[in-house]
Amino acid sequence: MTKMTERRKISRVMVTLLVCVLIATLPGLASGDVGDGNVSDTYGPQEGTDPVPPTGLYAGESWVPGDVVLIGYDGDVTTGTVTDPAGIDHEIIFTFADGVSRAEFPLLENVIIGEYTVSAGGETVTFCVGCCAINAWYVDGRVNGTISESLRNEGPVIYACEDLHGEIMPADADGSFSIPVDLPPGTYTMNLTCGNAQTNLLFTVYEAVTVQKAAVQAFDGNGMTAGVTVSGIVYEDLVVTDPDRIYDAPIEGALVEIFADDGNLAFDPASDMPILSTTTNSGGAYSFAGLDLNSYYFIAVQASSLDTTRGREKGAGPEDILAEQTYQVTFDPTTGTHDFVLRFGGLNPLVTDDWDEGAYEHVALLNASAYADESMDFGFSYDVIVNDIGEEEAQGSLHRFLTNAEYISGFQESRFVMAVPPNTHDGTAQWWKLDLDYSIVNFDGPFGLNGTVFDISLSPWDTNPGFVSYDPDAHRIISVSSPDGVPVGTGGDGREHTSDDSLFLPIAKPEIELNPPTGDGLLELGSAGSYVSDIAGYSSGTAISSRAPDILIERCLIGLTANATPPEEEYATSKDSADEGIFLNNDAAGNIVRDSVIAFTKHTGVSLVDGAENCLLENVLVYKTALDPTGGHTAVEVGASDLHIDRSIIAHTDEKDAIQITLPGKGGGSGPLISGSLIEMNQGVGINILQAPFTTVSSSIIRENGHSGIVVESHQSVGNTFTKNAIYNNSYIGIDLGVTGGVDNVTVNDGVLLENKPNRGMDYPVITGAVWNAVAGTLTIQGCVGLPGHDNSDFSGSRVEVFLVRNDTAGDNLIGNNWDKKNEIDAYYGEGWMYLGMTEADTEGNFSAVLDVYGITPGTDLILAGTATLYDGCTSEFGEVYYYGGTPENFRAVTATITLSGTTVLMNITSESGTIPQASLYWLKPEGMTIDAMAGDYFLNESAGNEFTWYFTNLMEGVPQTVELQFSLGPLDSWRIGDLYNLGVDPR
């Protein structure tokens, strides 16, 4: 039978029993585990009784999530305070009437479970949420129970159920009581009251079962000689979250002991008599014979006697590891059978099983009279974490999992199944904060630290809903309720705000937060293949350090609490903030960091040193790093080859550059590939290539940084390619091919390649003409790479990318784009706000093309610029801007056509938007064609070589003006018909 099918047999009454028993020793469980309809608590005077005169401040003793706590004060008081179990104060407002002040305190469904303190009028009282004032349960003809300590002087427990009623005094020592129930089969509700507390218990009396009993002989001191034989198996639960036990492995040598119940059905090793003990065989099985058919027993398993079935590392012994309980088979009084139950953490998840100290944690109840050959099984896991204990060695703790993973052979993966309530909240969400007294270092693993939390029914537990995202308009980190993607890159079309933009996907807030000792780092991963996921963590050293290959870090908040805020007030500037977020050392090849946030570090957000090659940062937000103003730090410091940064955000680096790249040696290896990312509002350069070849930046947005968008330094930095990016509103030029050791802003063209310059001193493109046809959706452009009229053959075959720098609605502000290293210069040099398309320079470095700009509204006051990329990947700076267009009132749309008839060429130019005062028609004559005659409506024409221009005035909308040419055919192979259609227009 599987865990799942067996678990369905647990009744609601049994759930109530378990909750109350646990709360009696450990206040606080999940809110869903109380208030389920079987037990309801009411407080204050009951109907039909005389009210008790209030004395000072008072409130009900115990409440459940969803209630409204009623708080009274005998006298006039206006305000008070409710302090929750996390130590957070909540103001309450009283209303005064008839000599009594009253206030209400609502308990949300996700309220923290535990004890609350009310303060008002100089007095304090307490109440408990989720804690039963009267705990009661029905077992085999008796209602047993306990009352809380504060009720022990309130007199007897008064009970009433059908014809059964009376009162009973609880025991002084522990408040326990037991009421015999003689009722026919059926379902009943018993009302129990003590003082001002009341509980209604729903229970079922079952038909008596006739059992053929064997003869039972008395215990003679040497063991039972006849009676019931009970058996079971002790398993290692190998897949904690899988409800099917077919994957579990039997444990040999487990110590199992059976105790005779002293009559109260509550296990106590001091009063329940140990009868027999045994160890499990090679099949994990144990048995006890000769049990009294009319008796109850407790079966206990010693955790320290267990050993893993997966094998241990060389030199490790069973004493080095310790498992925690996950399930068992026990008697269920609501069904009258022995049923499977999930039992994470044993009787008390905060207590370590230690028989020498009288702590028996893994105990099952046996009713010999109802035993029907069920296998009384126990399940244990070395991977499960059930509590928030931050000290070393505690059973079921994080440290115990890490120790187990170190000594057990192979890969171990944590499973958080929290049997204690969340201990931290922010008013809207809850999570578990583990205040560690150690750093997670020197655990060799390999292991997976997975912070996903399951509740004790093995359902994923989202106590901390929401996501961490980034608002690119407000330029800040935010919390959101849905995982909708945020556009961060330009996509394949190289343009912002289109359907193919790269998206940053928000990061789910985790349920586990780790806080190591001040002065230490948080986590060091030293074994290949290890991973950490779904945690929030911070430290005053390096938060996460990797010193092994193939490490994975995902869905983590580094430098943040679980609700995405700095860990303490002023944390981000205090001496205790993290030195670094993530450090990948020289053995960290192939590491992956994805779907994570790194924020609020004094120094670098992410560092990679030589040897950490082929790493990936994917969907990562690096925010407010390098906060120490004295250290010269960056957000991402790249000292290793072949890093890939994709769909990431790097913003608000306070001290220096966002990304700084320095590969070791003399330019060996390859710089990073940075794709589909947003790099904005950093103090220094967006991307600073100090020494690295073959860096590629593509489809990214680089804007509003305190210096240039991209800087390339050092003659060793060659082959660095920048393509289809949106680079604008940086404080200096968009791309700066600087000098070794620094920047020099604009470097004007010199017409040659220089091997001692960054990116070989690649020249930018010079745009000499452009025509934007808004109706046809085309941009006709021409120019050269290098110096006009110069031999530009060095730049043959260069790929020219054309950008809209700005128009009258948006784009780059051109601030700082008219400076060389020291001086202000006459011209402005562009940044690339919007990618328009690309073409290729010919063997002489010249280019001309018609680009498809359909769907782009050009606006007016257009400014164009371009970059050129050599065959070896060296990209230039942005070229000098080309001003195109005028003011809104005189900008017009013009179209042109060309037809061929025999030896006559007919061209038309037509206004498409009102009367145009002046326009120009451009044509590139095919090489080899001879013009014999020319006529038309133009008022002026000029030509230079094969380039012809005709000027027209007063073009009326829809009325074409013409140019007619007569030509000689010439040699038949000197030109082709397709060469005829190099035509462009320019409205004035």
Q: How far apart are CA 699 and CA 677, in angstroms?
A: 7
Give the pLDDT of residue 33. Answer: 26
The answer, yes or no, to whether residue 722 has pLDDT greater than 70, is yes
How many Cα neighbours within 13 Å face the side chain of 242?
9
Give the pLDDT of residue 423. Answer: 93
> For the CA atoms of 820, 822, 826, 827, what is the dihedral angle to 10 degrees?
20
Q: How far apart are CA 18 and CA 11, in angstroms?
A: 11
In this predicted model, what pLDDT tens digit does every residue of 380-390 receive, in sequence order?
999 999 999 99
Give the pLDDT of residue 245. Answer: 76
Give the pLDDT of residue 161. Answer: 92
Q: Taking the mean position of all CA atoms in its chain, how far away is CA 939? A: 68
Give the pLDDT of residue 733. Answer: 96
Give the pLDDT of residue 888. Answer: 33
| Amino acid, single-letter form, for residue 856 | I
Give the pLDDT of residue 364. Answer: 97
Q: Pick from 984, 978, 904: which is nearest to 936 by CA?
A: 904
* Residue 739: pLDDT band with limits 50, 70, 90: confident
For residues 804 and 978, which has the higher predicted lDDT (pLDDT)?
804
Average pLDDT, stretch 868-886? 90
Backbone angles phi, psi at 398, to 5 degrees: -60, -45
* 860-893 CB burial, b ≥16 within 10 A, e <16: ebbbbbbbbbbeebbbbbbbbbbebbeeeeebbb
In this predicted model, what pLDDT tens digit does every residue of 215-267 receive, in sequence order?
333 344 444 445 899 999 999 999 998 877 788 999 999 999 999 999 899 99
Q: Which residue has the tokens 């009433």?
A: 160
Q: Using a CB cutoff of 8 Å and minimum separation of 24, what contacts does 388-392 make?
A: 388/418, 388/420, 388/423, 388/432, 388/433, 388/434, 389/350, 389/434, 390/434, 390/435, 390/436, 390/437, 390/515, 391/437, 392/437, 392/438
Q: How far apart are CA 816 and CA 74, in angstroms?
A: 72
Backbone angles phi, psi at 772, to 5 degrees: -100, 115
The answer, yes or no, to whether residue 280 has pLDDT greater than 80, is yes
Backbone angles phi, psi at 402, to 5 degrees: -65, -40
Average pLDDT, stretch 907-917? 81
The answer, yes or no, to whether residue 354 has pLDDT greater than 60, is yes
Give the pLDDT of residue 88. Answer: 79
Kind and range of the H or E element at 407? helix 398-407
Q: How far apart are CA 223 and CA 225, in angstroms?
A: 6
Q: What is the mean pLDDT of the chain?
A: 85
Average pLDDT, stretch 311-322? 95
Peptide bond into 269 cis (omega under 30): no
Average pLDDT, stretch 773-796? 91
In this predicted model, what pLDDT tens digit does every residue of 150-159 receive, in sequence order?
677 778 999 9
The answer, yes or no, to whether residue 11 has pLDDT greater than 60, is no
Q: What angle do CA 817, 821, 823 make, to 5 degrees?
A: 75
Which tokens belong to 165?
């009623």
Give the pLDDT of residue 921. Answer: 87
Give the pLDDT of residue 821. Answer: 82
Q: How far apart are CA 102 and CA 157, in angstroms?
A: 29
The answer, yes or no, to whether residue 357 has pLDDT greater than 90, is yes
| Amino acid, single-letter form, for residue 260 | A
In this predicted model, what pLDDT tens digit does every residue of 554-566 receive, in sequence order?
999 999 999 998 8
Q: How far is CA 394 from CA 322, 385, 934, in A?
A: 9, 10, 98
Q: Pick from 39, 72, 69, 34: which is nearest to 53 by CA?
A: 72
* Residue 15: pLDDT band with limits 50, 70, 90: very low
- Distance spanning both ends of the chain, measured CA to CA: 85
Which residue(s) pair with 165 in the sheet?
160
Give the pLDDT of residue 6. Answer: 34
Q: Which string of DSSP letters, residue by residue, matches 690-723?
A: EE-SS-EEESBEEES-SS-SEEE-STT--S-EEE
Cβ atoms of 546 and 531 within 8 Å: the answer is no
* Residue 868: pLDDT band with limits 50, 70, 90: very high
Give the pLDDT of residue 213. Answer: 27
The answer, yes or no, to whether residue 4 has pLDDT greater than 70, is no
Average pLDDT, stretch 415-439? 92
* Contacts (Cβ under 8 Å, ≥6 apart) of 24: 132, 135, 146
For residues 154 and 473, which has the higher predicted lDDT (pLDDT)?
473
Q: Taking the mean position of all CA atoms in its chain, how far away is CA 914? A: 56
Cβ atoms of 33 and 19 within 8 Å: the answer is yes
Phi/psi-derived region of residue 902, left when phi > 0, alpha when psi is between -120 and 50, beta in every other case: left
Q: Taking the mean position of all CA atoms in its chain, how far away is CA 812? A: 33
The answer, yes or no, to whether residue 30 has pLDDT greater than 50, is no
| Amino acid, single-letter form, for residue 580 | E
In this predicted model, what pLDDT tens digit does every residue of 492-521 receive, in sequence order?
999 999 999 999 999 999 999 999 987 788
Average pLDDT, stretch 299-304? 98
Q: How far apart are CA 560 and CA 304, in angstroms?
A: 37
Please tell me the chain's helix, strand, coil percentages from 3-state DSSP, rounded to the nearest 5.
5, 40, 50
* Residue 110: pLDDT band with limits 50, 70, 90: low
The answer, yes or no, to whether residue 595 has pLDDT greater than 70, is yes
* Contacts (Cβ under 8 Å, ≥6 apart) of 963: 906, 907, 909, 921, 923, 934, 935, 936, 937, 938, 950
Q: How far apart are CA 338 and CA 372, in angstroms?
A: 8
Q: How far apart are CA 697 and CA 678, in angstroms?
A: 11
In this predicted model, what pLDDT tens digit does every residue of 651-693 receive, in sequence order?
999 888 999 999 987 656 899 999 999 999 999 999 999 999 9
For residues 873 and 206, which has the higher predicted lDDT (pLDDT)?
873
Q: How far apart are CA 916 and CA 891, in angstroms?
A: 9
Count of residues making up the chain:
988
Backbone angles phi, psi at 320, to 5 degrees: -85, -10
Which residue(s) pair with 650 in the sheet?
622, 679
Which tokens belong to 351?
């207590």
Q: Which residue has the tokens 């088979």?
A: 329
| Amino acid, single-letter form, for residue 133 | A
Q: Which string of DSSP letters, residue by residue, matches 745-808?
A: S-----SS--TTSGGGGPPPEEEEEEEEETTTTEEEEEEEESSTTS--GGGTTPEEEEEEEE-S
The answer, yes or no, to whether residue 759 has pLDDT greater than 50, is yes
* 167-176 CB burial, b ≥16 within 10 A, e <16: ebebeeeebe
The answer, yes or no, to whether residue 20 has pLDDT greater than 60, is no
Between 287-291, 710-714, 824-828, the lowest mean confidence (pLDDT) is in 824-828
Q: Pick from 500, 615, 605, 606: which is nearest to 551 by CA?
A: 615
Give the pLDDT of residue 530. Answer: 95
Cβ atoms of 151 and 199 within 8 Å: the answer is no
The answer, yes or no, to whether residue 523 has pLDDT greater than 80, is yes
Average pLDDT, stretch 320-332? 96
Average pLDDT, stretch 600-611? 93
Give the pLDDT of residue 885. Answer: 57
Q: How far apart are CA 860 and CA 950, in angstroms?
A: 23
* 91-124 CB burial, b ≥16 within 10 A, e <16: ebebeeeeebbebebebeebbbbbbbebbbbebe
Give the pLDDT of residue 182. Answer: 86
Give the pLDDT of residue 23. Answer: 26
